[in-house]
Every structure is written in C-alpha cells, then in structure tokens.
Structure 1
Amino acid sequence: MDTIPPLLDHLVLATPDLAATVADFARRTGVAPAPGGAHPDFGTRNHLVSLGGASYLEIIGPDPDRSPLPGGTVFGVDGLTTARTVTWAISPPDLDAAVAAARDRGYDPGTPYPMSRRRPDSTLLQWRLTGGDSAHPSGLVPFLIDWGDSPHPAASGLPVTPLLAVSATAPDPAEIRPLLAALGTDLLLSEGPVSLSFTVDTPHGPVTFR
C-alpha cells in the first residue's frame, strides 16, 4: 500500500512547549515552521509546515498568552510531558457525505462543528471538523475537516518538508483497519504500542518524528 494515507489533510504534532518543539523541528530539519495562529476558544496556538501538495504539519501547543481553560485544551496538549504525533486529519471532497457514508459502514466520526483562527496577516480562517468525544481514543483514526471557502493552509506559502511516509502501530491493527476503510482512507499499520510517526525529506536528509 501507499505509505501516504489517501485524503490526508494534515498531521498533528502536539507539544506541552510550542516554542521548544518548533525550535527542535527547525534544528533537526533545517526548516523553520511558520506561525499559524491562536485558537482563542481552546487555549492553543500552532506553527505550520507544508508537507507538499495539499497536506501540512500542524505543531500545536498551549498558547503562552492565554490562561489554561477549565475544560482543557484540544488534543490534550495540557496533559503532555513531551511532544508526540497524536492524530491526523483527512479532507474528503464532501464532509457531510463522508460522515453519512462512514455511519452507514458502522463507524460514527461525530457531527462536524465549526472552528476558526486568524493568521498572522489577520486573514480569518473558518472550517468544520469532526472529533471531540466521538474520536477514537488511539488517535490513529483520523478526524475529518472541511475548509469551506477559507484558503487552505498548505496553499499559503508555508516552508516545505515533503512527506515521505506515515506509519503507525496499534495493539490490535485489525480493530483499526475497518474504521479507516469506513472513512475511505488507509494507514500503514503494524502491531505494537499505540504510536503514529511520519518521515519528511529535509535539507538534512530524511527525518522521522513520532
């Protein structure tokens, strides 16, 4: 199978210390991630790197300019002790149709809900995505995202580290594969502790993040 998942929109590298992880990424790859923006309702901020084509990497962590939120931050970044790749997203051609099709196939990815943030140039980005309580606890089953009329982050002149491969391990890969199939995507899976990793091409050669 292809080592890059079909419909991949972005990978999520979550961290308890955004500045430190961005600096580490730049040191290891020779490519400095670009500031993305803040998520005011969730207490997080991100930096972005294009993975080539219509995919990108989101490095997300607590926003140092905001107090922790009572309900916790997205992707559990406030509970992490080290940076790790926690999940990924796909962008089907029709989000609502993809959700309905997945439900018909026995997997409910959740009801899409809206989010937004402003880029450093003040452009407002608005999108819908699935997730929340319905997300698979492993993070290995992607959430779905629809950027609507907003410019896609990968098309905004980001620095680039071309994606070479994505892979994962799970205690029971056979439990994950039907859920991926229900969403119309796939992931190179083998048996092991829950883990998601990706490899990018860089001026320093291939670099793998987990």
Structure 2
Amino acid sequence: MTIDHLVYATPDLAGTVEALRAQGVPLVPGGPHVGRGTRNHLAGLGDGTYLEVIGPDPEQPEPQEPRPFGIDDLTAPRLVTWAARVSGFPDRELLGPVPMSRRRPDGVLLEWELAFPPGGDGLVPFLIDWHDSPHPAESLDHSVRLVSFHGVHPDPDRVAREVAALGESLEVRRGERPGLEAELATPKGSVVLR
C-alpha cells in the first residue's frame, strides 16, 4: 500500500485543528486551495505519509462549485478518503487528471495532479502524482506514526478488488456502513480517526 496521505475533512477547520493538536497531533498550516474555498493543515505520519486536515477557508469567497470531499455537507470531522502516490496514472477508467496547486506558507509553490476512481465512497483511493514538486511530508514533524489503517464495508471483497485494480491494497473489514479508520500514535497517546 502506497499511502500518500489520509484526508480528514471537517466543517470547522480551526476547531478540528485545535482538538487534534490537544491530542498530540502537531498540525502545521499547509495553505489555501485558491478558488476551491478550502485550506489545509498537515502532520507527518512517517514513511513519507501525512495527514491532511481540510476544511472551509474563511478568507476565500464562497466557491462556485461544492467544496471537495463533501465538506459542505459535513456536520462533524470525518476520515473521508485516502490518496495513493503514483508516478504516472495507470491505464484504468479514472476521472482526471486534474491539475492542482497551492503555495506553502514559506512561499514554495506545490503543483500536482489528481485522478479519481469513478463512483466510490472514499475507500478506493484517489491517485496523486507530485511530479517534480517537493513532497509535503518532507518538511513535516514526524513525532506521530500511523499505527493502523483499514476500511469497513458491507462488501469488503468488492472494495479490495477495486483497490487492487489500481495496484494498491487495503485491509477491508466487513461492517454495516462504509468507512475508514486510522490509529495514530502521538506523544500524548493513541488517536483514532474515523
């Protein structure tokens, strides 16, 4: 499994960042996604992986389209999906690639492309190609570690096949409602994101 990052979406970015910091997750500002109405904070998880906490950016006008990851419909923070890092996109049915960029607080411009599997409920990852941009995890604190990460779904075999079709793997356990769960080890103890 090549986890680039986990996406924890929230309707209240400042409140969620404060709550996670209090639990020992050293989130730092990532930057705004101009025109999309969002901004993020990041924390390293070791092994070139990071946590992205993304939510509405009060400094941007309302976007013309809905914010990504269902942020506009959220009532509480949720681990909504994950990204798998690739170098070039596989020859599969994907939506995209979509070029993206953001400027870090230190002024460095990051540029990347995303491609999304059709349909889905977040368990099948979207793909990210950073091209020549520095990877965000390189400059992050790594005092937090990703201990475990898995999916839950009523049809775990189907989800596992869809993930495998992208060249990735994910443990998927049988459960009533689709979802993701990650356990983080922080200096203050264990944090579980769902």
Same-fold status (TM-score > 0.5)? yes
- Over the aligned positions, Cα root-mean-square deviation in angstroms equals 1.3
- Secondary structure at the aligned position of 1:186 is classed as coil
Counterpart of 1:204 (choices 185, 188, 192) is 188
TM-score by length of 1: 0.88
Counterpart of 1:185 (choices 146, 156, 168) is 168
**Matches of 2:96 and 2:25 in 1, distance apart?**
36
**Matches of 1:159 and 1:67 in 2, distance apart?**
33
* Corresponding position of 1:55: 49
- Secondary structure at the aligned position of 2:100 is classed as strand
**Matches of 1:156 and 1:57 in 2, distance apart?**
13
1:81-96 matches, within 5 Å, as 81-92=75-86, 94-96=87-89
In the TM superposition, what is the alpha-carbon distance from 1:159 to its structure 2 partner? 5.0
**Matches of 1:158 and 1:146 in 2, distance apart?**
22
1:1-210 matches, within 5 Å, as 6-28=1-23, 30-92=24-86, 94-96=87-89, 99-100=90-91, 103=92, 108-131=93-116, 134-158=117-141, 160-192=143-175, 193-210=177-194
Count of residues paired in the alignment: 193
Normalized per residue, which structure has more helix? 1
**Matches of 2:15 and 2:172 in 1, distance apart?**
29
- Unmatched tracts of structure 1, length 5 or more: 1-5
- Unmatched tracts of structure 2, length 5 or more: none
**Matches of 2:119 and 2:52 in 1, distance apart?**
19
**Matches of 1:205 and 1:157 in 2, distance apart?**
19
Letter in 1 for 2:124: V
CA contact (8 A) 1:51 1:161 kept: yes
Normalized per residue, which structure has more strand? 2
Deviating above 6 A after TM superposition, structure 1's stretches of 4 or more consecutive aligned residues are: none
TM-score by length of 2: 0.95
